A and B are shown apart, each in its own frame.
Chain A
Amino acid sequence: DAKTTQPTSMDCAEGRAANLPCNHSTISGNEYVYWYRQIHSQGPQYIIHGLKNNETNEMASLIITEDRKSSTLILPHATLRDTAVYYCIVRVAFTGNQFYFGTGTSLTVIP
């Protein structure tokens, strides 16, 4: 599975968009980008995933660059409850294999 690089921490003002970047320059053609988050004292929670097209769901949007070497998770209107560690994971889909969570980005939403 391709390695990912994320900033250690970020701040975002409440109500503003939170843009969380992830670099995955060694991604291969059959690897998907997944995002999970972990709110303090809870288990990780799935957010969104994509292959090469931008994706949107009720939680967030995922923007993947054309060369697929980086992506951005967008929380359109961050709330205090979005304060969490956000993990960007790149892996081959449908293999049944594990996720490597890495260290993630600690997002703090500021009132």
Chain B
Amino acid sequence: DAGVIQSPRHEVTEMGQEVTLRCKPISGHDYLFWYRQTMMRGLELLIYFNNNVPIDDSGMPEDRFSAKMPNASFSTLKIQPSEPRDSAVYFCASRRDRARETQYFGPGTRLLVL
């Protein structure tokens, strides 16, 4: 298996632009997580899905952020409009099921909003 795949790996955009981050979880995994990492706040969970259904989005900063999981093999995290404070590394992770705890992380997307 290729592991969790994220794209793009790097994104530079201007304030006000829409940003879409993509994630392909490991095949057969029921859970998908979106995290954000900054120097100031560390690694924070934004939202997670179970069987494509959003379960907890309490970590989503504000209405500018939205996440979808239209099927078991694809998820997006969208920021519209983007702001400089959104600059961070965004990680996607997946987990097989409720009984198996290990989360497998993707390589991350490094976002810079100018």
Contacts and interface: CB of A to CB of B under 8 A. Distances in A.
Interface of A: 32, 34, 38, 41-46, 49, 87, 93-103
Interface stretch (B14-22, B64-72, B80-88, B104-112): B104-112
Interface residues of B, number: 23
Nearest to A91: B101
A44 B107 CA distance: 9
B101 A94 contact: yes
Nearest to B44: A101
Nearest to A97: B56
Contacts of B56: 97-98
Query: A-side binding surface: helix, strand, loop or mixed?
Result: loop
Contact of B98 (A32, A41, A44, A96): A96
Nearest to B110: A41
B103 A99 contact: yes
Query: B-side binding surface: helix, strand, loop or mixed?
Result: strand
12 contacts: A32-B101, A41-B108, A43-B93, A43-B105, A49-B101, A93-B101, A95-B98, A98-B33, A98-B48, A98-B59, A100-B45, A101-B42
A13 B88 CA distance: 32
Given A49-B101, A94-B101, 15 more contacts: A38-B43, A41-B108, A43-B91, A43-B93, A43-B105, A44-B103, A44-B105, A45-B105, A46-B102, A87-B43, A94-B98, A95-B98, A99-B103, A100-B45, A101-B43
B24 to A, nearest CB: 14
A101 B83 CA distance: 25
Contact of A102 (B42, B91, B93, B101): B42
Contact of B108 (A34, A43, A87, A97): A43
Nearest to B48: A98
A58 to B, nearest CB: 14
A95 B98 CA distance: 7
Nearest to B92: A43
Nearest to A46: B102
Nearest to A95: B98
A78 to B, nearest CB: 22
